[in-house]
Chains A and B, each alone.
Chain A
Amino acid sequence: MGIAGYLALIVWAVFVNNFVLSQFLGICPFMGVSKKVESAVGMAAAVLFVITMASIITFLLYNALLVPWDLQYLKTILFILVIAALVQFVEMVIKKVSPTLFAALGIFLPLITTNCAVLGAALLAIQKDFNFMKTLVFGMASAVGFGLVLILFAAIRERLALNVATPKAMKGMPIALITASILSLAFLGFSGMVRM
């Protein structure tokens, strides 16, 4: 698989098969941390970081432990365990090594300990039988797609919050959910562009 293949994979993961808007994974942080662009950027960075780390470690664990012992059926529960431990570990390291980065990512890290987007990236990579490089690229691209949508959505919500024309009963979460569904319809336009 050459450069073109990887590019196709990236486009597929970011747009066509977007985690939030096509797979409906990671809806909780998508709705929860999208009130401000600033915190959305922080969350996007944290997700990118955690998904990349989790992709690496789950790939190694799957191929080095589960496949030789014929334990593939344990992948879901094992991945949850390992990802949770990994995020805890990373949080501790960041807290010690870089207080600035901790202040930026810190509050978001525990939120995505067992986020379904993180688990989804790991499980999908195995389902699609990706090799190590593809798993890594797929994980990062998925996280970029998640971050892109999160930041887009946060920017829309910031403007919506200022809109006085919104009826009272629609303010806040209701209009946010409607916006999310329209955004999802927009992303539906990418479907079929790349097949994986």
Chain B
Amino acid sequence: MDVQAIMIGSGALAGVGAISAVVLAIASRVFKVDEDPRIEAINEILPGANCGGCGFPGCSGFAKAIVEGMADPTGCAPGGNELAKKIAVILGVEVQEKVRMVARVRCSGTSEHCANRFVYEGVASCKGASLLSEGGIKSCPYGCDGLGDCVAVCPFDAIHMGPNQIPVVDLDKCTACGKCVDACPKGVIALEAHAGQVVLHCHTHLAAKDVRKICSIGCISCKACIRACPYDALSWDVDLPVFDYEKCQSCGLCIDACKPGCIQTFKEIDLAVKAKATEALEAKKAEEAAKREAARAAAQARAAAAAAAAAEKPN
């Protein structure tokens, strides 16, 4: 073996490499361009997951856009309010607090509750199943098919398949980046306020009679939940109840009122809160009853007065 040839070869290569390195090192000093140091500072405190939820190409793109004034400092969903505050300190501006959001799986129709239309043996992907058959596997066109596209797409490992093929969101890990919302072909997942403890696990827009036919845990538009709420936290929006989590006290009365059982909670209901709410509801009902009574009395009085006036008037 010719040791000398190896020495010359590797020496030449190392030499050229070293010269290039030195030239580049010098050039990086000589031709240094001063960039806005804030871009680097913001880039360092960003989560670095490059989830793209902000709409910019990765975290560094977002950092650049913030400094250039193209992006809102609160635009990073994973970082949340704390990050927005830190960015605001770097930029020297004030930001408004944002309500922390979380992904919600708005369906609880396991195959016990909502039958499958057919046995699916294709690619294990909700998108695939949806493309093959108009409306997916479940008999409800708004139901979760449970093949886990949302689980696969989550960059934060915050969504997992539950034991009965309905995904479960890890409320601590979820950053509301919205990837699962886009991934679900049936629009089951939506972003809702993180503060909400009691939620509606259904988003069907079918008419009540159709829901009754296909799903035993779907919203049947009975509005019992709205009547059961002492705090007016529930309102009716076209075909589903909507929670206002600024008013909701998580008392759980709507859970008891919901006949199909699609209103559920993540936490044990605090019995003290529930007792208080029951009182409040009774007070509200009593107040309403009193109002009705008063209205009826007033109407009777008016009718009596009119009758008396008619009697007085000579014909």
* Complex CA distance for A65 and B23, rounded to whole angstroms: 18
Chain B: how many interface residues by the 8 Å CB criterion? 16
A residues less than 8 Å from B28 (CB atoms): 92
Contacts of A85 in B (CB 8 A): 20-21, 23-24
- The docked-state distance in angstroms from the alpha carbon of A77 to that of B13 is 8
0/1 string, A84-126, CB within 8 A of B gives 1 = 0100110011011100000000000000000000000000000
Residues of the B chain whose Cβ atoms lie less than 8 Å from the Cβ of A88: 24
Q: Please tell me the number of chain A residues within 8 Å of chain B, measured between CB atoms.
A: 19
For A92, the chain B residues whose CB sits under 8 A away are 24, 27-28, 31
The answer to whether A74 touches B13 (Cβ under 8 A) is yes
Cβ 8 A contact of B20, one of A71, A77, A82, A96:
A82
Chief secondary structure at chain B's binding surface = helix
Q: In the bound complex, what is the Cα–Cα distance between A92 and B23 (angstroms)?
A: 11
Interface residues of B in 12-60 (CB under 8 A from A): 12-13, 16-17, 20-21, 23-24, 27-28, 30-33
**What residue of chain B has the Cβ atom nearest to residue A73's Cβ?**
B9
Question: 1/0 per position for A137-155, CB-CB distance to B under 8 A?
Answer: 0000000000000000000
Decide yes or no whether B8 CB sits under 8 A from chain A.
yes
Contact B8 A93 (CB under 8 A): no
Contact B16 A65 (CB under 8 A): yes
Q: Known pairs A74-B9, A92-B28, A96-B30. 12 more at Cβ < 8 A?
A: A65-B12, A65-B16, A69-B8, A71-B8, A71-B12, A78-B13, A82-B16, A89-B24, A93-B27, A93-B31, A96-B31, A96-B33
List residues of chain B with CB under 8 Å of any chain A CB.
Answer: 8-9, 12-13, 16-17, 20-21, 23-24, 27-28, 30-33
* 11 A-B pairs with C-beta separation under 8 A: A69-B8, A71-B8, A71-B12, A73-B9, A77-B13, A81-B17, A82-B16, A88-B24, A89-B23, A89-B24, A93-B31
